[in-house]
Amino acid sequence: MNALIEELGGKQLGCFIDDVCVNNFSYADDMVLLAPSVSAPRKLLNICESYAESHGLAYNVKKTVYMVFKAGNKCPTFVPPVLLNGVTLKRVFQFKYLGHLVTEDLRDDADMERERRALSVRANMLVRRFARCTDTVKITLFKAFCTSLYTASLWFKYTQKSYNALRVQFNNAFRALLQLPRFCSASGMFADARVDGFDAVWRKKTASLLNRMRGSCNGILKAIADRPDCPMMYTLAQRPISLLVIKY
């Protein structure tokens, strides 16, 4: 697929960040095309169609959809049809890409709710299966299964309600696994167990991703990470820093 990716990027059509063309993102056989208008993705799709035909490939039009992102509260009332191989593509308002829920308003509440539900399932599984294990084993399992917070480093636009719901779920999972009182201090129980709390885990994941992006040789990643208005910098700035007290 490298030849197709290079051909798309070389056309200089679609979206740009600091003069860097970001009209396509690809991972394995998943491809996303980005453009500020309807005419540009049509041209990009024509390139994809020609490439697929010349290589004996075929796109699955049933799994190919398009989304129109809102600019603030503005969104066009009419969008001309977008075609792939002569078939009109379906417009969606929410799509899961590589496990992350992307919505038309670019808010992260839906994805945070997805992670909250997944965390609840994993925590309940641990509580049921490992109730008789030692606290050391339980803490190890908690770190392995409950602190991943998948795609958390991408969250920056969400409501306080979504944040509180996920944080409470995270804290309750730890309480249930270690059989602690329901209303015990969250900061105290994490400090006693020498485990990072919710905000600490989130900040570390965000800082790690930002560091890897800045150290990457990929031009698109560097263009995003080096911008002063990078959303991840905003996420790091707004996350509270918890004081960890170690008792000896």
Give the pLDDT band of residue 123 (cuts 50, 70, 90): very high
Give the pLDDT band of residue 238 (cuts 50, 70, 90): low
Domain-embedded: residue 127: yes
One domain, residues 228 and 119 = yes
One domain, residues 139 and 171 = yes
Mean pLDDT computed over 84-91 = 91
Mean pLDDT of all residues belonging to the chain: 88
Length in residues, the chain: 248
Q: Is the pLDDT of residue 245 over 70?
A: no
One domain, residues 217 and 161 = yes
Domain-embedded: residue 156: yes
Q: Is the pLDDT of residue 2 over 90?
A: no
Q: Is the pLDDT of residue 236 over 80?
A: no
User: Which of the listed residues 103, 136, 163 is the one where a domain comes to its end?
Assistant: 103
The pLDDT value given to residue 234: 64
Domain-embedded: residue 115: yes
Domain-embedded: residue 246: no
Tokens of 168: 């409470």
User: Which of the listed residues 55, 71, 103 is the one where a domain comes to its end?
Assistant: 103
Q: What is the pTM of this model?
A: 0.85
The pLDDT value given to residue 165: 97
CA–CA–CA angle 97, 107, 105 (5° rounding): 90
Report CA-CA distances (Å) from 63 to 33, 49, 196, 218: 14, 15, 40, 28
The amino acid that residue 139 corresponds to is I
CA–CA–CA angle 76, 79, 80 (5° rounding): 155
Give the pLDDT band of residue 159 (cuts 50, 70, 90): very high
- Distance separating alpha carbons of residues 96 and 93, to the nearest angstrom: 11
Q: What percent of the chain has pLDDT over 90?
A: 52
Domain enclosing residue 144, as ranges? 109-238
Q: Is the pLDDT of residue 194 over 50?
A: yes
16 forms bridges with which residues in the sheet? 21
The pLDDT value given to residue 247: 41
52 CA to centre of own chain = 29
Domain-embedded: residue 248: no
The pLDDT value given to residue 183: 87
| Position with higher pLDDT, 12 vs 112 | 112
Give the pLDDT band of residue 58 (cuts 50, 70, 90): confident
The pLDDT value given to residue 198: 95
